[in-house]
Structure 1
């Protein structure tokens, strides 16, 4: 599978080239687009392409400078310059940077397909035994896996498992190298989940045998991920919901009780300290502040209904001590419960 980068400051040309490339029927893992040389270099920090198609005249960084930068990488990237007739002199200069092909605008589908055929033939002859996987790309996949597992998104996790296998397969490496990459990725992922204090067993090693094919090793990896999902599901009592939303729902249903942070954290299968920090980050309030706010909002709704006595309302929102309820309500609303009723005309 090949990775392709197209660089041009004209959106219609970018779109047209992408369509032509897709119509060629090449086995492609990614087609990335950039509007200038600098954007292209940023994209290449995340993932090195096999083929680059670039214009010459572009803002920020032109195609000639980009070709020079690609040459400095000393990689197996094959670069194709696509430019206008007036830029032919520049295109000739780009050949000194290892540019493989030069195409004159406007580029036709047949012409582009013939060029792709040449690039593929050349790539198959080279067949590098190693490939480059940037730290940024690895981190991107780690975050996606971590989020899917933590929030128990089975559909997303299954999709990631399938696509990640294709991603690693796209790097033309020996099975041993792929397995080492997989082992490292699994270890980093488990460390990220440990940092979340998910309170389940997280073995960082896959313990892959040296003789395993990549396909077999990946089955071990996939099995490990599914096992972590099952453990987390059981720990959270089969409730695959957003932890914060589930916490809010639990508080809402138990306003009359003295619900503690530790109680909710245990319900969610989270460490209390981590849950406390996460709750504050996601809501902007501490657990106690949020619980108090919801109690006072419910108290206001009950106060607007004449049939409820203020003493009964204080019990309904978790305050056995009526004076404590009055003090908290006044701090929250600025007036006492009885004054609030008077203001409503009750």
Structure 2
């Protein structure tokens, strides 16, 4: 059973789409509606949402921005975008962010339900090449090495030290023939959990090859939809990605590149765990311009994964989340703990001072701390024991309860003071938190 969130700033449209879904006969559990991006984000943070159906133009937060924020929180949430305008730029942006469909108003009921049905059917279906690999246990199965002639040159590109990085890379034309063009690059490395804590192999050589093959194809299925990336085996049984952007692609500033890289990293981890029942660690480098810096980016991805020893329950590491420049050598466990505590305390202070701000996001809190939203969320939960957004809601609810009981402020005035864009949104969250409506509590 799937939970669906329908978002449109016209309540009648929300009601109509919810009604269509309720009578569709699809395997739907809960249908939640929201009339703004901010309200929808609260549900995405607090509920188990599988599919987001959102209008593209809504007040302060567009459907594109909502989808982007949703995927930061939960990269595996699927999305269908609805628009009153058949604008190619909007459609292109939505598909690049991973939208499964782009529908034009006024909606045709059958077309809408067909789109939802198509998305839901694909949710629990293993990725095609992965399914083939996992079911191919018979003796005559032969795995074709993907791009075998590419593996050695691309691995060499990641390890080769460039003597004069300030000059044009002399082998650029050679690597163009392997699809490495850039000029902007990032390196992602995916390390499968093939050995135990003592370095002893957990699987036979045949099984390891099968897991590598299946993992590589999961990754290719995910990145081929939205990215220009070379995906290939590393020399240490992990999988490497060289992600690249042209000048034109990189100039598009509609979403943060690092957030996109983290989203795809978390999505890779999620799908490998889901389909292969195997953990993996993902290391993500920064983004640099110039093929001559790929060896630097490769070392950054390796270094990012080093932190998995300190954060065993965290799996996707971005190099820029760790203040390497503050240490003459890699920080020890005590220094890491001090740094983590400082990040969380700074985040708490910022939230306490700004929780009443409308449209406050985890992304904004993370930006103030110079870390990624996902890493901040992880640290906050690990150190305080509570979810970061739950802490925001807690402060808002405690303040609103005090205002209800000790002032004569109206509901819309209290909603305004604690950061909600509408009294209806405020009332929904208040009732979910306290079990009674604001008016009942007041009585």
Which category of TM-score, normalised to the shorter sequence, fits these structures?
A: 0.3 to 0.5
Bigger fraction of residues in helix: 1
What is the TM-score with the length of structure 1 in the denominator?
0.35
More strand, by proportion: 2
TM-score (norm 2): 0.28
Larger Rg: 1
